[in-house]
Amino acid sequence: MNPKIDVESDKWVHLNHLFEMLDDDITHWRADSKTLIFYWNGDDGNHPFPCKMTTAFLSDMARGWLSASDYGPHGNGDGSFVRGFRFSTINLAEYMTCTIEPAWIYYSK
Q: How far is Cα 107 from Cα 109, in angstroms, rounded to an integer?
A: 7
Q: How far apart are CA 28 and CA 53, in angstroms?
A: 10
Residue 93: count other Cβ atoms within 10 Å of its Cβ.
9
Looking at the domain assignment, is residue 85 inside a domain? yes
Q: State the alpha helices, DSSP H only, in 1-109.
A: 12-20, 55-67
Mean pLDDT of 36-51: 90
CA distance 48 to 29: 7
In a domain, 96, yes or no: yes
Instruction: Tell me the three state secondary structure of residue 71.
Output: coil
| DSSP SS3 for 59 | helix
Question: Is 90 within a domain?
Answer: yes
Range of the domain at 31: 6-108
Overall domain count for the chain: 1
| Percent above pLDDT 90 for the chain | 71
Identify whether 102 is part of a domain: yes
What span, in angstroms and rounded, lies between the C-alpha atoms of 64 and 100? Answer: 12
State pTM to two decimals. Answer: 0.90
Q: What is the pLDDT, as a whole number, of residue 1?
A: 63
The answer as to whether 1 is a domain residue is no
Assess if residue 40 is contained within a domain: yes
- Is 79 domain-assigned? yes
Residue 46 located in a structural domain? yes
